[in-house]
Amino acid sequence: MAKRRQAPVARPTRREQAALTRLRILEAAHEAFVSRGYSGTRMVDVAAAAGVAVQTVYFVFHTKPELLTACFDLAVMGGPDELPPPQQPWHLAMMAATTGADSVAHLVDGTTSICQRVALLDDIVRAAIHEPEAVAVHERGERFRRHDFESIVASWAARFGLREGLSRTACLDLLLAYTGPSMYRQLVVDYSWTTKAYKGWLRETLTGLLESPAGNRIG
């Protein structure tokens, strides 16, 4: 009986190989930054952990600040093929929600997922106060967050109303603080809150910023 020929296994293209190499480097770098800090992370150690030559790391990312920036972007987006947060399903659902409570729930789900991936990395970078390069990466991320959250506050104010006496500026500051990685890290990592408890507290806290989250149905 003749043996059936096996179909040839398709070899990854150069682009696919490059993408896999880049992802391996980023995963190794993330682990190094979290465990060793920014100043303690060396490109040669990242290369060894990723199984590539150190020249490859420099070819792909050029400098350690660029590598850190790429690690942050990957953690925020959730994967190499994912879109920026404002284009992700949870964000679109939040902006399309017809009640404040539903909009808050989508925001909590999305920001919690981001914090789970980025909290420890963000903590390490914030601690590197004497490393201007690391501080710049953190400030870049905060600028993007603030710009996005300005549109969220404007949408909430127009559609659901803000709590009496709460300005848009104050609401923005509170929203950034409550949903940020520092708050998540303190409650979940340091104080051992469960993710369920954290999300429940966050939903309750954020709905308190709105005028009437349950009653303001639009559409």
Cα–Cα dist 36/73, whole Å: 20
Cβ atoms within 10 Å of 12's Cβ, excluding its own: 10
Same domain, 113 and 32: no
> Residue 219: which pLDDT band, with cuts at 50, 70 and 90?
very low
Residue-averaged pLDDT of the chain: 91
Q: Write the CATH number for 45.
A: 1.10.10.60
Share of residues in the chain with pLDDT > 70 (%): 92
- State yes or no: pLDDT of 216 exceeds 50: no
Same domain, 57 and 137: no
Same domain, 148 and 118: yes
Burial group, residue 17, by CB count within 10 angstroms (0-12, 13-18, 19+):
exposed
CA distances to 12, 60, 97, 103, 189 from 92, in Å: 34, 32, 9, 10, 29
Q: For residue 38, is it left (φ>0), alpha (ψ between -120 and 50) or beta?
A: alpha
Interaxial angle between packed helices 100-127 and 89-96, expressed in degrees from 0 to 180 and rounded to the nearest 10: 140
Predicted structure pTM score: 0.85
Query: How confident is the model over 134-172, as pLDDT tens digits?
Result: 888 889 989 999 999 999 999 999 999 999 999 999 999
Same domain, 115 and 152: yes
Number of domains present in the structure of the chain: 2
Same domain, 65 and 100: no
Is 8 among the domain residues?
no
Sequence-ordered alpha helix ranges (H) in the chain = 14-40, 43-50, 54-61, 64-77, 89-96, 100-127, 132-159, 168-179, 181-184, 195-207
CA atoms within 13 Å, Cβ hemisphere of 7:
3
Same domain, 104 and 61: no
Query: How confident is the model over 20-43, as pLDDT tens digits?
Result: 999 999 999 999 999 999 999 999
Same domain, 77 and 97: no
Which domain does 21 fall in, by range? 13-82
Same domain, 87 and 71: no
pLDDT on residue 75: 94
The answer to whether the Cα torsion of 50, 55, 57, 60 is positive or negative is: negative
Is 7 among the domain residues?
no
> Residue 200: which pLDDT band, with cuts at 50, 70 and 90?
very high
Which residue has tokens 């959250």? 149
